Amino acid sequence: MSQPILVAEALSSGYGKFQVLFDVSFRVYENEILAVVGPNGSGKSTLLKTVFGLTTIYSGSVIYRGRDITRLPPYVKARIGVAYLPQTDNVFAELTVKENLLMAAYTLEESEARDRIEEVLNLYPVLKERLSYKARSLSGGERQMLALAMTLVRRPDIIMLDEPTANLAPVVARHLLKKISMLRDEMKKTIVLVEQNARAALELGDRALLMVSGRVSYEGPSESLLRDVELGKRYLGLR
Ligand code: ADP
Tens of pLDDT, residues 52-81:
999 999 999 999 999 999 999 999 999 999
Cβ(41) – ligand 1 distance below 6 Å: yes
Going from the Cα of 46 to the center of ligand 1, the distance in angstroms, rounded, reads 6
User: Which residue's CA is minimally distant from atom 5 of ligand 1?
Assistant: 43
Band the pLDDT of 3: cuts 50, 70, 90: confident
H/E segment holding residue 203: helix 198-204
* Res. 147: pLDDT tops 70: yes
196 against 97, higher pLDDT? 97
Q: Which atom of ligand 1 is nearest to the CA of 211?
A: 3
Q: Which atom of ligand 1 is nearest to the CA of 46?
A: 6
Cβ(38) – ligand 1 distance below 6 Å: yes
Going from the Cα of 77 to the center of ligand 1, the distance in angstroms, rounded, reads 22
pLDDT at 232: 84
10's CB contacts (< 8 A; 6+ apart) are 23, 24, 25, 59, 60, 61
> 8 near 51, Cβ under 8 Å?
yes
- The pLDDT of 166-176, averaged and rounded, is 93
Going from the Cα of 43 to the center of ligand 1, the distance in angstroms, rounded, reads 6
pTM: 0.95
- The percent of residues above 70 in pLDDT, for the chain, comes to 100
pLDDT at 237: 83
237 against 63, higher pLDDT? 63
